[in-house]
Structure 1
């Protein structure tokens, strides 16, 4: 029996569930994944019971119950410091925390206009000004990090918390056919080919259509 349970909503639609799952896998945590949705009243009540803020992902690990993606990452970083969520260098570590926090609290226009949907593809999708500003900022982050730390991941040779936080954006760039500069496009392709991302995407493709995204999960 797994030592922990990660409760998520939808693999196809929930970007926060994806981030939480990536973080747990990167930590090497032995966990089971429980998929719930807010589509019916009984499941909604169960989610509210599990997490008073009605947010997923939610990690149960022994006596520990933690929700919110960054809180899960902080807990697992303390418990499994060998996971390498943050760079060793103090300056790079602060930078990694900053851009992870920027994703956690920002880019609302992009989330609203380009919701995650791994099964869809919208070529020539028109991106309006609000979301375009978010796309420009994210590609600037990619360019700065890849140039500064040498790639292929945002902070060097291996994935960190920052890559887990921005991975769902890479799926959005593919779904909505977002044109990207060469360096950002190469990074997007790297993340989409990441074995953990391929595993998640394959599971999302098998997900029943009745599993729906929670209202706040954009």
Structure 2
């Protein structure tokens, strides 16, 4: 049985990524939610993750503990390679965009941490975060213009690249980030996914509240 261990749905951006991919593609899995930065989390996370972070996928006795590694494993084992575009150029571009998301955008992460329940207020981010915001929109525009004509997502059909940028969509909406028409359309597409709506409803129902930081113990790539 597959088990996906995640943090709070309201806050855990990295947990959202593989969860959304798996749920949207209809994969059955057991969900274990460990509230971040709590005694329960610190007591139980060692039973699941060698890094003491989430997300982590357990497939039988095997442990996959990185969000992108989880998405790649899911794609190889259970999606028949549908997680990536079939066109070689589109696949290469999507992989580049995912790698940049996985390792970059530190200012965006720090200054606009994911909070699904947040209502937009006055902008407070600095020039470094603004550069990240502009770069994200440039990536989206490039992928959509070159590879997105066949569908509503970055390379046409929903896949890993879209799941990896889904938390950015939440950030942009939650903080009222001004976006161009292409970005707005992509955000609408992410929010229209049944799996995304399910995640957001669950996030809204959570009772935990954490400080506004993306550096909370337990959040991992």
Same fold judged by TM-score > 0.5?
A: yes
Residue of structure 1 in register with 2:23 after alignment: 25
Q: Which residue of 1 aligns with 2:155?
A: 155
Structure 1 contact 73–161 (Cα < 8 Å) conserved: yes
Distance in 2 of aligned mates of 1:38 and 1:81: 30
3-state SS of the aligned residue for 1:110?
Answer: helix
Aligned twin of 2:175: 176
CA RMSD after TM alignment: 1.9
C-alpha distance 127-40 of structure 1, shift in aligned 2 (>3 A): closer
SS of the aligned residue for 2:122 comes to coil
Which structure 2 residue ranges, 5 or more long, are not aligned? none
- Give 1:54 deviation, angstroms: 1.8
Deviations 1:66-106 (A, max 9, x none): 11111111111110243611011111111111111111111
In structure 2, relative to structure 1, the CA distance for the partners of 1:38 and 1:176 (3 Å cut) is closer
- Pair 1:217-2:215 in alignment: no
Which residue number in structure 2 is paired with residue 190 of structure 1? Answer: 189
Greater than 6 Å deviation, 4+ residue runs: none
Q: Residues 1-218 of structure 1 correspond to what in structure 2 (within 5 A)?
A: 3-82=1-80, 84-149=82-147, 150=149, 151-156=151-156, 158-209=157-208, 214-215=216-217, 217=219
TM-score (norm 2): 0.90
TM superposition shift of 1:49: 3.8
Provide the C-alpha distance between the structure 1 equivalents of 2:201 and 2:50, rounded to a whole number of angstroms: 31
Aligned partners of 1:77 and 1:85 also within 8 Å: yes
Instruction: Output the TM-score relative to the length of structure 1.
Output: 0.91
Q: Secondary structure at the match of 2:31?
A: strand
Distance 2:210 2:114 in 1: 14
Q: CA deviation at 1:45?
A: 3.4
Q: Figure out how many residues of one structure are paired with residues of the other and give that number.
A: 215
